[in-house]
């Protein structure tokens, strides 16, 4: 009798072990750890406005429509600076944000807009950026933003505090290095920067912050 | 009353639990499909995967774990793929402009990140190195076709002591 209870207990433990081994093996960025109670990232101070700058948005119009960095009323705008041939930093960040949105569910997701600004204006085109964003965010409002020249791109990145650099190369070269900051920004409907996530912020952390921002930036009226 | 009777429900629960365990274990190995390991001399490579291409991308990154089971350090110094699959494969590391590795970057750091090719990666004696997002990756350049979820492809890894290890990567959706 006692032995069979023990056997049951050990079976239960074995199942728990197998299950935990299984879940830890599937997480995408397992190396990033953080305190569970403190939200990842921070609210930039003093208040920085981002709707003073704009870029052509190719999401709904292949000719590009001017978009100021400001969310629609009641929405949050998530902004990342990257490039399409970036195989590591950019896709993992997109996948983590997408996982966060998945966790939040459609009622919150309809109030979150996703903006991707390319820092590789030579190789990246509007239609290819739309294809890229649709892959990660099929159910979200997206903004595919590409500056017509590097001066306009710099005006935007300096407003956000983001950095980028394209290595010198021959015109039309297929491969050249691109460096960029891996920070993701959140902007509210007044065009104010309300949050910054460092590179490596996980899906659950993205979800927790967005949920909290929705409550604090737009308190129920 | 038969004092042994309570053990019958227990036995039933035990059978159910065993069945459950088997189910969980099989679900785990089939979904992860990362259970495959590849052997070299004192080298074990596992969890080889790449993310599905987002659109018509012609670059990709392969992640994996390399374990060195010998008492001597080894070095991964080359990676190659069939020409019919991609133009080239090389060992890359994601680094930040202030010299830290991307995975240890602090909150709010706006230092720039980029990748650079590295000549080799040391696998410590009786230790392991995991290639993961923000750290090391095997860079694929000039993919003939975008990577698709569920696809598998071969990769040759060259080790100083471990020899050439042929591994198969699984493409995952995210
Ligand atoms: Cu690379």
CB A151 within 8 A of CB A198: no
CB A88 within 8 A of CB B133: yes
Residues B124 and B97 in one domain: yes
Report the CATH number at residue A109. 3.40.30.10
Among A4, A87, A136, the residue to mutate for chain B (most B Cβ within 10 A): A87
Tell me what pLDDT residue A39 has: 81
Tell me what pLDDT residue B141 has: 94
* Residue A195, number of CB atoms within 10 A of its CB: 22
Residues B22 and B97 in one domain: no
Residues B144 and B78 in one domain: yes
Q: Is residue A76 part of a domain?
A: yes
Residues A118 and A203 in one domain: yes
The verdict on a CB contact (< 8 Å) between A199 and B27 is: no
The verdict on a CB contact (< 8 Å) between A88 and B92 is: yes
> A with B: how many residue pairs have Cβ under 8 Å apart?
156
What chain A residue is nearest to B18 in terms of C-alpha separation?
A11
Q: Is residue A42 part of a domain?
A: no
Residues B20 and B84 in one domain: no
Q: Is residue A46 part of a domain?
A: no
Residues A145 and A187 in one domain: yes
Chain A residues near residue B92 by CB distance under 8 angstroms: 88
Q: Is residue A49 part of a domain?
A: no
* Number of domains chain B is built from: 2
Tell me what pLDDT residue A104 has: 94
* CA of B170 vs chain A CAs: smallest distance (Å): 13
Residues A59 and A146 in one domain: yes
Tell me what pLDDT residue B100 has: 60
Residues B131 and B111 in one domain: yes
Report the candidate in A199, A118, A201 with the shortest Cα–Cα distance to residue A156: A118
Chain B residues near residue A92 by CB distance under 8 angstroms: 51, 133-134
Residue A145 has pLDDT above 80, yes or no: yes
The verdict on a CB contact (< 8 Å) between B113 and A182 is: yes
Residues B6 and B22 in one domain: yes
Residues A107 and A31 in one domain: no
CB B157 within 8 A of CB B76: yes
Chain B residues near residue A44 by CB distance under 8 angstroms: 108
Question: Cα–Cα distance between B97 and B109 in angstroms, integer?
Answer: 11
Residue A122 has pLDDT above 50, yes or no: yes
With a cut of 50, list the residues of chain B below it in pLDDT.
1-6, 12-13, 15, 17-18, 20-33, 104-108
Residues A17 and A67 in one domain: no
Residues A108 and A157 in one domain: yes
User: Which residues constitute the domain of residue A156?
Assistant: 54-217
Residues B41 and B97 in one domain: yes
Chain B residues near residue A206 by CB distance under 8 angstroms: none
Tell me what pLDDT residue B97 has: 76
Tell me what pLDDT residue B103 has: 54
What mean pLDDT comes out for the span A198-214? 95
Residues B71 and B121 in one domain: yes
* CA of A107 vs chain B CAs: smallest distance (Å): 23
The verdict on a CB contact (< 8 Å) between B133 and A4 is: no
Q: What is the pLDDT of residues A166-192, one digit of tens each?
A: 888 888 887 888 888 899 999 999 999
* Number of domains chain A is built from: 2
pLDDT band at A38 (very low <50, low <70, confident <90, very high): confident
Q: Which among B14, B106, B112 has CB closest to A198?
A: B106
Tell me what pLDDT residue A172 has: 81
Residues A169 and A81 in one domain: yes
The predicted complex's ipTM stands at: 0.77
Residues A147 and A206 in one domain: yes
Residues B61 and B101 in one domain: yes
Strands B112-117 and B86-96: antiparallel
pLDDT band at A13 (very low <50, low <70, confident <90, very high): very low
Residues A7 and A81 in one domain: no
Residues B68 and B108 in one domain: yes
Tell me what pLDDT residue B99 has: 61
Residues B20 and B64 in one domain: no
Q: Is residue A86 part of a domain?
A: yes
Share of chain A above pLDDT 90, in %: 68
Report the CATH number at residue B124. 2.60.40.1890
CB A87 within 8 A of CB B60: yes
3-state secondary structure of A117: strand
Question: Cα–Cα distance between A43 and A81 in angstroms, integer?
Answer: 18
Chain B residues near residue A177 by CB distance under 8 angstroms: 114-116
Instruction: Give strand ranges (E) for B52-106.
Output: 59-68, 74-80, 86-96
Residues A75 and A155 in one domain: yes
Q: Lowest-pLDDT range, A11-20, A36-45, A58-67?
A: A11-20
Which pTM does this prediction carry? 0.80
Which 3-state string (H, E, C) describes A122-183? CCCCHHHHHHHHHHHCCCCEEEEECCCCHHHHHHHHHHHCCCEEECCCCCCCCCCCEEEECC
On the question of a cis peptide bond just before residue A46, with omega within 30 degrees of 0, the verdict is: yes
Tell me what pLDDT residue B70 has: 96
Tell me what pLDDT residue B106 has: 46
Residues A213 and A179 in one domain: yes
Residues A121 and A175 in one domain: yes
Which run of H or of E encompasses A56?
strand A54-57
User: Which residues constitute the domain of residue B73?
Assistant: 37-172
């Amino acid at each position: 009798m006692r032995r069979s209870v023990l056997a049951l207990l050990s079976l239960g433990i074995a199942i728990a072990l197998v299950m935990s081994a299984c879940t830890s093996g599937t997480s995408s960025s397992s190396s990033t750890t953080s305190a569970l109670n403190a939200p990842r990232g921070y609210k930039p101070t003093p208040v920085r406005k981002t709707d003073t700058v704009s870029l052509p948005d190719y999401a709904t119009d292949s000719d590009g429509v001017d978009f100021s960095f400001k969310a629609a009323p009641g929405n949050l705008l998530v902004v990342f600076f990257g490039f399409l041939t970036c195989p590591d930093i950019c896709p993992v960040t997109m996948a983590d944000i997408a996982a966060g949105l998945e966790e939040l569910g459609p009622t919150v997701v309809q109030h979150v807009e996703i903006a991707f600004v390319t820092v590789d204006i030579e190789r990246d085109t509007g239609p290819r950026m739309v294809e890229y964003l649709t892959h990660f965010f099929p159910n979200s409002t997206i903004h595919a933003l590409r500056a017509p020249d590097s001066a306009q791109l710099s005006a935007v990145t300096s407003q956000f505090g983001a950095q980028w650099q394209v290595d010198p190369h021959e015109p039309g070269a297929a491969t050249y290095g691109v460096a960029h900051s891996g920070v993701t920004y959140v902007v509210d409907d007044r065009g104010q920067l309300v949050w910054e996530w460092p590179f490596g912020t996980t899906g659950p952390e993205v979800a927790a912050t967005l949920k909290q921002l929705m409550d604090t930036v737009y308190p129920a009226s | 009353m038969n004092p042994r009777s309570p053990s019958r429900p227990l036995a039933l629960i035990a059978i159910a639990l065993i069945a459950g365990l088997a189910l969980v274990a099989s679900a785990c190995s089939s979904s992860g499909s990362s259970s495959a390991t590849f052997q070299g001399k004192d080298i074990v490579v596992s969890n080889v995967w790449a993310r599905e291409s987002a659109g018509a991308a012609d670059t990709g990154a392969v992640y994996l774990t390399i374990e060195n089971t010998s008492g001597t350090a080894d070095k991964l110094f080359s990676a190659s793929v069939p020409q019919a699959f991609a133009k080239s494969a090389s060992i890359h590391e994601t680094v930040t402009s202030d010299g830290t590795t991307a995975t240890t970057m602090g909150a709010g750091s706006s230092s720039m990140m980029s990748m650079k090719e590295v000549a080799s990666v040391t696998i410590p004696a009786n230790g392991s190195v995991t290639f993961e997002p923000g750290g090391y990756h095997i860079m694929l350049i000039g993919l003939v076709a975008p990577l698709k979820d569920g696809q598998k492809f071969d990769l040759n890894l060259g080790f100083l002591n471990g020899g050439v290890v042929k591994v198969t990567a699984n493409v995952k959706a995210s």
